[in-house]
Each structure stands twice: as C-alpha cells, then as structure tokens.
Amino acid sequence: MSALEKVRPAAARPPALARAPRVTDEHGRRIRVWELVLRYLLLLAVLALTVGPFLWQLSTSLKGPTEDIFSSPPKFLPGDPTLHNYERVADTIPVWDYALNSLKVATANVVTNCVGSALAGYALARLRYRGRRVATLVFILAMLVPVEGIIIAQFTTMRELGLNNTLVGVVLPGCISALNVLLMRNAFLNLPYEIEEAAYVDGANVWQRFLRIALPSVKGTIAVVAIFAFMGAWDDFLWPLIVLSDPSRFTLTIGLNYLHGTFAGDERLVAAGTIIAVAPLIALFACLQRYFFRGVGEGAVKG
Amino acid sequence: MAMSTVSRVRRQLPVSPWLFAAPGLLITGAFILYPFVSTLVNAFTDRRTLVPGRFVGLANFRELLNDEMFWIGLRNSTLYVVGVVPALVVLPLLLALLVQKNIPGITFFRSAFYTPVVASIVVVGLIWVWLLDERGLVNSLLETVGVGRVGFLSDQWLLLLSAMTVMVWKGLGYYMIIYLAALANVPRELHEAAAVDGAGAVRRFLTVTVPAVRSTMVLVGALSSVAAFKVFSEVYLMAGPSGGPAGEDTTLVMLVQRTGTGLTGRVGYASAISVVVFVVTVALMLLVLRADRRDES
C-alpha cells in the first residue's frame, strides 16, 4: 500500500481550489467544491422527502377550520396557526387517556425487558449449570419465530388466562424479548472474566457479582434495550389491535386507527392526533440518538 | 459482615442460575414457544374462538387451495417482497454513501433521515394516507405541474404500490445505519487503488463498494424480505381493514387477523394460513442465503 500512498499526490488538485473553504473528509483530505455542493443538494432533497411529510402533517394540524387545506398549489404554512384541532381531538376521543395507556405499556415494557433480560442474559453468559445450552437454544429459537404468525395463538392464550382486553395482556408477550436476552448475554460475555473471578475468590456471591460488578459494566446495552423496548411498545399496532377491544383501554396507536376509521374525512383532526402520538418519540430520539443508532447495529438480527 | 458457613454454602447452591433465567424462560415459553406449537396443532383442527376444535386432518389446507382470498393474499404478500426488497437493498446503500463523509452538519442529516424509523407505523400510515389523498399534497403538486390528479388510494394496484412506497420510506433510515457500519469497514486503500487505475465513481461503486458490503446486502435482503412478506399495518391503514376495493389488496397476515380474531374467529383456519406464512418466511431466508452462496462460488 505504501507505493499507492506515494502515487496519490501525483493526482494533484488544481491550485485554484486551494483557496476554497477548507472542508475535509474523515481522512483529512479536502473535498472538491462542486462535489460538496452536489452532496448538499442531494442531502436537502432527501431531507425534504423524509422529514417533509411530518412537517406537512404538523402544518395541517395547525390550520384553522376556515383555512383551505386542499388548495392547489398547496399552502405549506398555516395562515393563522391555531391549536384548535388539538382541543378537538381531546373532545372526540379520550386522547390523553390513550396517551397514558401507551405510557403505562411502554414503561412496563422497559422495566420488564431491562430486568428480565439482564438476569437471563447473565445466567446464559456467566453461570455454570446443567441445561445452560438448552436455555440458550430456547431463546435463539424464540427469536426466530415470526410474531405475526403466532398472534392468533397468543390471543387464545390470553383469553385462557383471562387477560385479553387488558393492558397487562398487551405487555406480556413481549415483556422479556428473546432478542434482548441474547443482546445482554453477548454484552456480559464481552466483559473480562478476571474481575468477577477475583470477586468470587473474595467471597462475593452470585447476586453481589451480578449487581455490583457485571451490571454496571453493561449500562450501554441496557440503555439500548430500554430505548428499543419503549419505542417498540409505544409504536406497536398489530398486537394491541387484536388484544384490545374496549375503547376505554386503547393505546394511542389503536386510538388513532379508531379516529381515522371514524373521522377519516376530518384531516385536521387526524393530523393533530398523529402529531400527539409521534412528538414524544421524536423528542426521545433527539435526546438519545446515539443509543438508537447503536441499537440498530446490535439488534440488526431483529428484522 | 460475618457470614456463617451454612449461609455461604446456601448462596452457592445451583438453584440461583435457574432463578436468574426463570422469568425470561417462563415468558418465552408461555407467549412465544407455546403459541408457536399451538399454532401448528390448531392448523389441523376446526377450532374457533369459543369452540374447542376437533382434529380435521388436512381439511384446512384443502380449503385454502380453493379459497380465492388466500390466493389474493399470497399474491399480494409475494408482490410486496418483489417490489420492496430490491429498493430496500439498494436505496439505503446509496443513502449511506451520501451521509458517510463527515462534512459539516452531516450528523443532523443522518438523524433526520432516521426519523421515519422512530415513528409508529400507524402515524406513518396516516401521514401518507393524507399525502396521497385524492385532494392531498401529492395530488395538489401533480395538478400544479399539470399531470392531473391520480387515485393512489382508490385503484387496487396503485394502492399496493403506495403501501410498498411507505414501507420503503419507513425502512430507509434503519438499513442506512446498518450499511454505514459496513462501509466504515471498507479499506480506503481499495478505493484509492481503483481511483489510480482511472475508475470513475460508478465503477468504483460497482467494483469496490458493492463487493465489500456484499454480506451486508445479503443480510438486508433477508431481513427486508421476511418483513415484506409479513406486511400488515401499511396495507391495513391505507386500504382499510377489508383490504381495498373488493378486498383485492388483502395480504396474508391481514387475512390471518381477519379470519382468526373476534368471537366467531376461525382459529383453526387462521392457524393454517399462519403455517403458510412460517413456511414461506423460512423458504425466503434459505433462498436468500443460498443465492448468496452461489454468488460466492
């Protein structure tokens, strides 16, 4: 490679560009101006495509009852922004109750997933006992089962337990996901074993080793598990749709679907509802981005 | 802290590993593995929501063969894979190349492109229902430029295409992040060598980038084809619970949901459709992995 390194400067840049603003890539080399302009143009185009629809929804939700939302050419900004539609959503469906239900479900999902998968992951990674391989295999198999294929059986199981149409029933099937258990197992496996061995020699028992030594070292993975558990529960649609039938117990996503189904013609109302549902997650994402990105890398097997 | 020998021994008893794993095993067993086995068993019964079933052999599967709705569902789910997977393998890779270079403001763009992943599919579905509405933004724009209005949500095929677009739109950011991780591992010397040899950007993409991230492309292909075949929410929200005009946009998982739930739900028959979903999902995975191996040799 050293030969190539020497060849590279031969492809000298035109000296005129030396005066251009100094923008370099990750290897410290200057990027040509026209390429930079092209890149930013493309980035802005994709930005319009990915974020634009959210902004259009926000704009629609802020347009008053007298403002034309169907105009052609379209009007991107509300002429006289109002929160009127948000009040109307609350009058039409108990949207704050639904938000509270979603929050309860999501919080419970975070707690059970963090605690349950940390415990099980530690058992799979660190503890020696007969049947450990079988236990690991159980979680691997469970991870491969496509959830959409077993929802009917999950529903009948919930009925047998008398938990259909309850928030507990919404939480239970995913409350300790196999994927999270395996993520935690890998996190524990990556810790150096010597420290725990030393603690063992010093007489620390399993719980002490788990709580004081292993757990604090895998905080990052626990954060990833927590965030994806929250997002998964807050965004879930198919399972709550099947298990909840009583409108007073709806979560936000099911409530939105209900709102859309009943008041489909009222675009301002539906727009306000969707903004209420998506705003908390966008805020969470804005604050904790790096964990969201880390989760994609670690959980790429999730699909 | 004085610890008696007895308690020290008790703390090392082999029950505790199982205590650690018990909650996870219990939940997984009760709500994943048991329903899985029970789906396989129910597929051979005429069980209904309120009526315990009897063994009926292959009757459910024979009925499937003559069920027009089943073939529509299988067709749509398959079309979904054919339409969505190539887009989700290629577009996020191009997007990852676009956001790879650390130019000013790039972290903002990366995060912004990820926003659709964070939003619930219900939110995303409803946003697009409004965008593609007969009087919505897209049609307003089309009219402004003189194309005229298009019935994205009323025509059977355009509806399916719109739902595919939504799945691609929502998945772009997710796979972009996967590709970014893969691109970070492509040795820069390869690019430089190709550039010295006079290869242009397109050529370098095909001869350096693609081979280097091939295994990631296979992973993305496998993940997205399984997700696409199991499509439910996009079509349910955009075409309605009954699956568009005359149910022509129904997908297999929509059919499972429609057949198996409610007080009169045909659990046995819905389970038979679920078994088809399993089989095709596994087949898709094997197909993608095999194609991968054939390419390599």
Which CATH number goes with the domain that contains B193?
A: 1.10.3720.10
Average pLDDT for residues B16-37, to the nearest whole number? 91
Q: Which of A8, A27, A50, A58 to mutate to test the interface with B (most CBs of B within 10 A)?
A: A50
Nearest chain A Cα distance for residue B294, angstroms: 22
Task: Give domain status of residue B142, yes or no.
Answer: yes
Task: Give domain status of residue B194, yes or no.
Answer: yes
Shared domain check, A188 and A72: no
Task: Give domain status of residue B82, yes or no.
Answer: yes
Q: Which residue's entry shows tokens 């010597």?
A: A194
Alpha helices in chain B (DSSP H): 5-11, 15-28, 34-42, 59-65, 68-100, 106-118, 121-131, 137-144, 156-183, 188-196, 201-204, 210-212, 214-229, 233-239, 252-260, 267-296
Task: Give domain status of residue A11, yes or no.
Answer: no
From A82, A109, A125, the end of a domain falls on A82
Task: For residue B227, give the 3-state DSSP assignment.
Answer: helix
Task: Report how many Cβ contacts below 8 Å link chain A to chain B.
Answer: 288
Q: Does B134 touch chain A (CB under 8 A)?
A: no
Task: Give domain status of residue A303, yes or no.
Answer: no
d(CA B228, CA A302): 14
Q: Does B123 touch chain A (CB under 8 A)?
A: yes
Cβ neighbours, 10 Å, residue B294: 8
- Interface touch B111/A286, C-beta < 8 Å: yes
Which A-chain residues 156-215 have CB contacts (< 8 A) with chain B? 156-157, 159, 172-176, 178, 181, 203, 205-207, 210
- Interface touch A145/B32, C-beta < 8 Å: yes
Shared domain check, A203 and A77: no
Neighboring chain B residues of A70 at a CB cutoff of 8 Å? 135-136, 140
Q: What is the rounded average pLDDT for all residues in chain B? A: 88
Task: Give domain status of residue B35, yes or no.
Answer: no
Q: Domains in chain A: how many in total?
A: 2
Range of the domain at B232: 76-246
Q: How far is CA B70 from CA B59, B225, B244, B277, in A?
A: 15, 20, 15, 11
- Interface touch B144/A72, C-beta < 8 Å: yes
Neighboring chain A residues of B189 at a CB cutoff of 8 Å? 1, 4
Range of the domain at A32: 26-82
Q: Which of A76, A141, A148 to mutate to test the interface with B (most CBs of B within 10 A)?
A: A148
Shared domain check, A211 and A152: yes
pLDDT for residue B126 is more than 60: yes
Neighboring chain B residues of A112 at a CB cutoff of 8 Å? 23
Q: pLDDT tens string for chain A (303 positions)? A: 334 333 344 344 444 444 445 566 555 566 788 888 999 999 999 999 999 999 999 999 999 888 888 887 788 888 888 899 999 999 888 999 999 999 999 999 999 999 999 999 999 998 877 788 899 999 999 988 888 989 999 999 999 899 989 999 999 999 999 999 999 999 999 888 888 888 888 888 888 888 888 999 898 899 999 999 999 999 999 999 999 988 889 999 999 999 998 877 788 999 999 999 999 999 999 888 888 887 776 655 443
Note the pLDDT of residue A142. 92
- Interface touch A278/B274, C-beta < 8 Å: no
Q: Domains in chain B: how many in total?
A: 1
Task: Give domain status of residue A282, yes or no.
Answer: yes
Alpha helices in chain A (DSSP H): 2-7, 33-61, 84-92, 95-125, 132-144, 151-160, 167-171, 178-189, 193-201, 206-208, 215-217, 219-235, 238-243, 252-262, 267-287, 289-298
- Interface touch B31/A151, C-beta < 8 Å: no
> Could you report the predicted ipTM of this complex, rounded to two decimals?
0.88
Structure tokens at B146: 């003189």
How do residues B280-292 score in pLDDT, each as one tens digit? 998 988 888 787 7
From A59, A82, A105, the end of a domain falls on A82
Q: How many CA atoms lie within 13 A of A259 on its CB side?
A: 31
Shared domain check, A73 and A103: no
From A42, A57, A82, the end of a domain falls on A82
Nearest chain A Cα distance for residue B295, angstroms: 22
Task: Give domain status of residue B192, yes or no.
Answer: yes
Task: Give domain status of residue A19, yes or no.
Answer: no
Shared domain check, A289 and A196: yes
Shared domain check, A254 and A117: yes
Nearest chain B Cα distance for residue A150, angstroms: 6
- A155: closest chain B residue by CA: B261
Shared domain check, A120 and A74: no
Q: List the single residue in A112, A235, A260 with the smallest CB-CB distance to B126.
A: A260
Q: Does A86 touch chain B (CB under 8 A)?
A: no
- Interface touch B36/A145, C-beta < 8 Å: yes
d(CA B122, CA B128): 10
How do residues B36-70 score in pLDDT, each as one tens digit? 999 999 999 999 988 888 899 899 999 999 999 99
Note the pLDDT of residue A25. 59
Which B-chain residues 220-239 have CB contacts (< 8 A) with chain A? 222-224, 226-227, 230, 232-233, 237
